[in-house]
Amino acid sequence: MASIPKPKSEQWDVAWRGFAPGSWQSRVNVREFIQRNYTPYEGDGAFLQGATERTRGMWQTLQPLLAKEREKGILDVSQIPSSILAHDPGYIDKERELIVGLQTEEPLKRAIMPFGGWRVVAASLESYGYKPDERLGEIFSKYRKTHNDGVFDAYTPQIRNARSSGIVTGLPDAYGRGRIIGTSSSPTRCARKRSWTTAIRPRTSSGCARSCPSRSGR
């Protein structure tokens, strides 16, 4: 025999048990939910515990490596594209570790993540004195589409023009996130009384959108 589902109101009563009621129950209002339901802690830090001997020992193991990293900028880097199984297991001090797993097989050895975008990986390697692997450069430039490339492929000519004109910022620019952030200053500067459609036009030789007045110092 199938069970009879509870009415929605009863389901919410169970889900919200223990919380102070408010308008957050009928609409998204995170601020009110927090204000009504948080309990401030006004005590001191007596309940906190210091680092254990095991933790202090591992920290001491890292000190000479951290000193070398500060001298060089980065201690070392692997040019194997990062993935879950890209590197052998790495430890700081295997016998002392409770939470294990480093990014690569050695402490402080950096990994590269070219699936987001190759250009930023190559530039980062060069900035620290490493020569980017030419085979990887070919693979991620010719054969393997990166996230950054995929996002750019999805842009319409209008979006590209808006990006070039400074109307929207935060587009991939080789870092692979694809965020779009509208700015209030650039549209005002470029077309105070014009529509966005008018402002999003091909750039002229001066680098501005055609509807944009001259912008010195940009």
184: phi > 0 → left, psi -120 to 50 → alpha, else beta; which? alpha
- List % helix, strand, coil for the chain (3-state, nearest 5): 40, 5, 50
**For position 11, what pLDDT does the model report?**
77
Type of residue numbered 191: A
DSSP label of 21? P
C-beta of residue 209 within 8 angstroms of C-beta of residue 165: yes
Place 173 in a pLDDT band, splitting at 50, 70 and 90: low
Which CA distances in Å does 57 have to 49, 54, 62, 165? Answer: 16, 5, 9, 54
What's the distance, CA 207 to chain centroid? Answer: 29
Which of the pair, 183 or 151, is modelled with greater confidence?
151
**For position 86, what pLDDT does the model report?**
93
Lowest mean pLDDT among 33-42, 136-145, 164-173, 196-205: 196-205
With vertex at residue 103, the alpha carbon angle to CA 130 and CA 97, rounded to the nearest 5 degrees, is 135
Residue 80 clears pLDDT 90, i.e. is over it: yes
pLDDT digits (tens, 9 = 90+) for 90-126: 999 998 999 888 989 999 999 999 998 898 899 999 9
* DSSP-assigned letters across all residues of 106-154: STTEEEE-TTS-HHHHHHHHHHTTPPPPHHHHHIIIIIS--HHHHHHHH
Q: How many other β-carbons are positioned within 10 Å of the β-carbon of residue 199? A: 22
Which of the pair, 185 or 211, is modelled with greater confidence?
185
Place 178 in a pLDDT band, splitting at 50, 70 and 90: very low
Task: Tell me the C-alpha distance between 169 and 93, whole Å.
Answer: 44
Which of the pair, 59 or 201, is modelled with greater confidence?
59
In this prediction the pTM is 0.59
Residue 180 clears pLDDT 90, i.e. is over it: no
**For position 101, what pLDDT does the model report?**
84
Query: 31 phi and psi, to 5 degrees?
Result: -60, -50
Percent over 90 (pLDDT), the chain: 47
